[in-house]
Chains A and B, each alone.
Chain A
Amino acid sequence: MSEQTTVDMAELLGRYGGDKSQLIQVLLEIQRRKRWLSAEDLEAVSTSLGIPYTQVYHVATFYKAFSLVPKGKHSISVCLGTACQVRNAPRLLDRIVDIFGVKPGDTSQDMQFSLDTVNCLGCCALGPVMMMDGQYYSKPTNEELERLASAE
């Protein structure tokens, strides 16, 4: 497994001061920093906010933004929103699966790339669109995808 980001949970949880309503925001922050939520993370959040573990787990599994398994170093989202769909996003997805060697919802063996499909990235005029590590790519060519796939 490649490097794991560590998060100073005490510092992070301290910022929310035990406010129960901030559960989702706390989880989002952990997810943003280390790209996934471990069982230990959920337990720490449960203790800090005084919310039963089951309820924390319920929230963490309900929303799509959270992952309970480690994610790759680079995250790829392919938009399958309606506007991209009618402009043949499924074929873009096929090409990405081919070139990156990873299926939607999965992470590559070497923990380099995680691929997900999303329902709208909100830049419909540029479709079909993909996003990698926060950067948008409009109608990427195979050459562009291959260049991205060789990213470290």
Chain B
Amino acid sequence: MPKLDSGAALESFRQSLQAAQEAQRPCVTICSGTGCHASRSDKVNAAFVEQLQAQGLADKVDIKRTGCHGFCELGTIVAILPQEVTYLQVKPEDVAEVVTTTLVEGGVVERLVYHDAVIGAIPREDDIPFYKPQTPLVFGQNRYIDPCDIDSYIVKGGYAALAKALFSMSPDEVLNEVKASELRGRGGGGFPTGAKWKTTKEAADPVKYVVVNADEGDPGAFMDRSLLEGNPHRVIEGLIIGAYAIGAHQGYVYVRQEYPIAVDNLTVALQQAREYGLLGDSVLGSGFSFDIAIHRGAGAFVSGESSALMAAIEGHVGEPRPKYVRTAVSGIYGHPTNLNNVETWATVPLIIENGSEWFRGIGTEGSKGTKIFSLVGKVKNTGLVEVPMGIPLRQVVFDIGGGIPKDRKFKAVQTGGPSGGVIPEKMIDVRVDFDDLSAAGSMMGSGGLIVMDEDTCMVDTARYYLNFLSEESCGKCVPCREGIYQMLGLLTAMCEGTSQPGDIERLEEISGVVKDFSLCALGTTAPNPVLSTLAHFRDEYEAHVNEKRCPAGVCKPLVNYYIDPDKCRACMLCFKECPAAAITGARREIHIIDQSKCTKCGACFDVCPSRYNAVARLSGVPVPEPVAAGTPVSPRKGGDDE
């Protein structure tokens, strides 16, 4: 492959790729994102190779391993093109039938397509209710692209925005376009991207850097991972465009080592981009030179903070420094450095290609464009969703997410990760944008939406986040290191039933100190999970402190399990499931929990059939005396004993 040395060369290459593709060969696309990889998509892939061979189609059908489709809950996802039939939860043993029915006979394997309670079978992916309300501008290409094949990106118009920027726009024009788009950083802060670029561009130092922050540390969020794994060239293209606008000649991608597939795919992508002349000396023959290096992070949440991340790139411990001077002015080795999140960079090519006016047409007054969210937790359809800014939260949870599983009651959505807060049911109609979520006492963050149902304890949730933050606090400044530790102590006491009157007020007081005096955002936002749950669920805190009761029945030391002798049908399910052998009983004998052996894991509660509902979870009340061992089950009114 000769290097592409002009915008025209790129375009004619794209046309040649498209012409070759127009033969409309059938293609099996297999999602190979981490979610589907975990569902053994590699075995499904191997099964397709074998079956196509066995059924004589090996040279008539292509197989493409693509990036993440988003609907990870139902992986492995296989889409057959050009028919656009999408199969979910495909197992290797399903593959022979798919090849025969769809590729040989042109039919549909009904049992593998999405089934909707109302509409019935839905063979096309875009018609599935999970996808329908979405606007997948940034993420949508994933499913058509093989991340290890640059041609599959170019044929879809990839790098056209870069050619446009290099050959028909000046660096200033590119910067102004991004500024005019009102794009805000997708990593959490929501800082205007154009203004950030301008600061670095205008810094006097001629040596400048641009960096992709792929240290996606928020537990419960995996948008950046899926973009970087599934469509690395879009991130690279955005970074080159940014470097051109800012005047940087070296870029870095800081990626967590916990994301090995992302590192691998990115390494391949950078190599291919260099071979094609899209990186290195004189990008696309434009005279502008730029290259990108990968830095693997070694596991530290605080390293996602800009100054800490840059220290890590230099090979140091990833601790933040006071930012009297911003990293945009003095970053890596003291040179001006512009840091943006993966999704922000991936949005840039769209803005250059379609113009800032188009971008501003999507979203709300203060938040333009779309945002990718990781919709997880107690929700039926989990996965990645991309929606226009301003969509009501209710629509995301109930229309896209399909509501709460097992008919449980919705309680809250946690947004913004460990720096964010909860949105309770009464505020579920809030618009999802930077400003409205902040006004609601939470924040956008990087895009984790963790749905919680009535079985989630808010005190325990706050304790969970503070535990995370106390482990991740780098320890450099006292308010964060000691304050979070003390807050965690108070919360742990509440969850264990050893808290004292006045602990809630003490918690609030320390929160104020940590918030006001910590060095970096890890500390200043650390009290948010506490303050926001306190604001909406103060009664739960009071029940823990005053009554030693956990209303959700989560905090083990405050909970006891008890088998109601009038309801127990002696079905032996809980007896078999109990890992601590704390349940005694036999067929037709009422089961009894030995409270001294019980580890309160809740397994008995979960397995007790809903038609019996015999296992009770008690909190704040004494456990009734058990019946005598060997007591037979009471005769049943209905008479359908097992």
Contacts and interface: CB of A to CB of B under 8 A. Distances in A.
Contacts of B312: 24
B90 to A, nearest CB: 15
A1 B75 CA distance: 40
Interface stretch (B254-262, B271-279, B607-615): B254-262
Range, interface on chain A: 35 or more
Contacts of A65: 257, 298-299
B315 A23 contact: yes
Interface stretch (A2-10, A82-90, A107-115): A82-90
Nearest to B577: A142
A149 to B, nearest CB: 14
Contacts of B219: 80-83, 85, 119-120
A122 B257 CA distance: 12
A63 B315 contact: no
A28 interface: yes
Contact of B378 (A23, A87, A98, A138): A87
B301 interface: yes
Contacts of A63: 297-300, 318
B220 to A, nearest CB: 4
Interface in B455-475: 456, 461, 464-465, 468, 472, 474
A126 interface: yes
Contact of A122 (B34, B414, B450, B464): B34
A125 B298 contact: no
A86 B414 CA distance: 11
A33 interface: no
B260 A20 contact: no
Interface residues of B, number: 59
A64 interface: yes
Given A21-B315, A91-B601, A136-B34, A123 B222 contact: yes
Given A82-B464, A83-B220, A91-B602, A123 B35 contact: yes
A59 B317 contact: yes
A21 B314 contact: yes
Contacts of A78: none
B257 A28 contact: yes
B296 A122 contact: no
B84 interface: no
Interface string A69-98: 000000000001111011110010011001
A45 to B, nearest CB: 11
Nearest to B223: A122
B468 to A, nearest CB: 6
B316 interface: yes
B634 to A, nearest CB: 31
A22 interface: yes
A25 interface: yes
17 contacts: A24-B296, A59-B315, A63-B299, A63-B300, A64-B300, A65-B299, A82-B219, A82-B465, A83-B448, A86-B450, A91-B601, A91-B602, A119-B217, A120-B219, A120-B222, A125-B382, A126-B39
Given A59-B316, A59-B317, A91-B602, 20 more contacts: A20-B315, A22-B315, A24-B296, A24-B315, A25-B296, A62-B300, A63-B318, A65-B299, A82-B417, A82-B448, A82-B450, A83-B382, A86-B378, A86-B450, A87-B377, A87-B378, A119-B217, A120-B219, A120-B221, A124-B72
Closest 10 CB pairs of A and B: A136-B38, A81-B219, A63-B298, A125-B72, A64-B299, A83-B376, A82-B220, A23-B315, A125-B382, A120-B219
